[in-house]
Amino acid sequence: MWCVILGIVLILFGCGDAKELPSYLKLCQRRDPQLHQCIMDNVQILKPKMKPGIPELYIPPLNPLVIPEATLNSGSSFRATFKDIQLYNAHEFNLQSFDVDLDKYHIDLKILFPLLRIKSLYSFNGRLLILNLNGKGPADGNYTNVQVGLSLNGKVFKKNNKEYVSWEKEKIDINIEKINLLFERLFGDNTELNDQTNKVINNNIDGIVEELQPVIQEVVSGFVFSLVNRLFSRFSLNELFPPK
Ligand SMILES: *[C@@H]1O[C@H](CO)[C@@H](O)[C@H](O)[C@H]1NC(C)=O
């Protein structure tokens, strides 16, 4: 889902008429009073292209979006590693609001994902709330109405006499209406204990998400910003906003 944000951030800054930018994008002038509408039009243009990915804009395939690995640590007592993470339906997003200030390099976005599904290979080690979790295997999860709020701050820097922007997270909020998770083989072949523990996990999902919220945000924003900054280190400001 984070690449969708990347895509939208890109659209915001990808409105200039530099020749490197694809011609199917509608050109928006930086001072255009209709800038907001122009950006929304570009979101609609790019949305159907996002599912397979847009290599010329550094947007990877969005269904599934593959993330090699993520690690969560909750204090010293719990560690979770997720490998081969496959995220489905990230292309089915609604951009609920955005606010951009091109003078201050500030962006606020709100995006809703009606249904995300994430599959991975998990490995747990330690104690989370009331549970001792030490197992590994396939994981599956459905997440209904995932709302992501993101604020970004840009800083201008110079490279080869050109100006570029690097982005930092100011704020990230993640709200999820409903989660259903399944961890296979938490206790190896003991299916009864597996089933029971999955029930406990799903019945306590709010507490678990709350416990892990800071780390989830850290992992997610680390991923987003590495992508965003890779993009913005390749297109200079003048390429993104041609001077008048
Ligand atoms: C997620 O949704 C899919 C499709 O509806 C379903 O097949 C799968 O069992 C669900 N997984 C979980 C963990 O709820």
Give residue for tokens 């280190």: 233
The residues, ordered by sequence, that sit 6+ positions from 226 with a Cβ below 8 Å of its Cβ are none
Please choose from 86, 87, 88, 140 the residue to mutate so as to test ligand 1's pocket, defined by most ligand atoms within 8 A of CB.
140
Summarize the confidence of residues 160-179 as an average pLDDT.
Answer: 90
Model pTM score: 0.80
| Mean of pLDDT over the chain | 82
Which tens digit of pLDDT belongs to each residue from 186-205?
999 999 999 999 999 999 99
Summarize the confidence of residues 51-73 as an average pLDDT.
Answer: 84
Q: Which atom of ligand 1 is nearest to the CA of 117?
A: 1
Task: With respect to residue 37, please indicate whether it lies within any of the assigned structural domains.
Answer: no
User: How high is the pLDDT of residue 2?
Assistant: 45
Task: Please say if the pLDDT value at position 80 is more than 50.
Answer: yes
Between β-strands 65-74 and 94-101, what pairing exists: parallel, antiparallel or unpaired?
unpaired
Q: Which atom of ligand 1 is nearest to the CA of 181?
A: 13
Q: Which helix (H) or strand (E) holds 228?
A: helix 205-232
**22 versus 228: which is more confidently predicted?**
22
User: How high is the pLDDT of residue 49?
Assistant: 87
Q: Which atom of ligand 1 is nearest to the CA of 180?
A: 14
Task: Please say if the pLDDT value at position 123 is more than 90.
Answer: yes
Task: With respect to residue 100, please indicate whether it lies within any of the assigned structural domains.
Answer: no
Give residue for tokens 């009864």: 192
Please choose from 117, 120, 144 the residue to mutate so as to test ligand 1's pocket, defined by most ligand atoms within 8 A of CB.
117
Poorest-pLDDT segment among 73-77, 97-101, 163-167, 237-241: 237-241
Task: With respect to residue 9, please indicate whether it lies within any of the assigned structural domains.
Answer: yes
Tokens, residue 18: 């530099």
Which among 222, 241, 225, 228 is positioned nearest to 58, based on CA atoms? 228
CATH at 213: 3.15.10.30
User: How high is the pLDDT of residue 226?
Assistant: 67
Poorest-pLDDT segment among 32-41, 74-83, 87-96: 32-41
Task: Please say if the pLDDT value at position 52 is more than 80.
Answer: yes
Task: With respect to residue 123, please indicate whether it lies within any of the assigned structural domains.
Answer: yes
Summarize the confidence of residues 88-117 as an average pLDDT.
Answer: 87
> What's the length of the chain?
244
Give how many domains the chain has, as a whole number.
1
- 147 CA → ligand 1 middle, Å: 20
Task: With respect to residue 103, please indicate whether it lies within any of the assigned structural domains.
Answer: no
Dihedral sign for Cα atoms in the order 221, 227, 233, 235: negative
**6 versus 120: which is more confidently predicted?**
120
In one-letter notation, the amino acid at residue 135 is G
Domain range enclosing 236: 3-14+42-91+116-142+180-240
Task: Please say if the pLDDT value at position 22 is more than 80.
Answer: yes
Task: With respect to residue 131, please indicate whether it lies within any of the assigned structural domains.
Answer: yes
∠ CA 176-8-14, nearest 5°, is 170
Please choose from 86, 92, 142 the residue to mutate so as to test ligand 1's pocket, defined by most ligand atoms within 8 A of CB.
142
- 11 CA → ligand 1 middle, Å: 33
Cβ(122)–Cβ(141) below 8 Å:
no
- What residue's CA is closest to ligand 1, atom 5? 142
Task: With respect to residue 59, please indicate whether it lies within any of the assigned structural domains.
Answer: yes
Q: Which atom of ligand 1 is nearest to the CA of 142?
A: 1
User: How high is the pLDDT of residue 210?
Assistant: 83
Q: Which residues line ligand 1 (CB under 6 A)?
A: 117, 140-142, 180-182
Task: With respect to residue 219, please indicate whether it lies within any of the assigned structural domains.
Answer: yes
- 159 CA → ligand 1 middle, Å: 48
Dist. CA 43–CA 39, nearest whole Å = 6
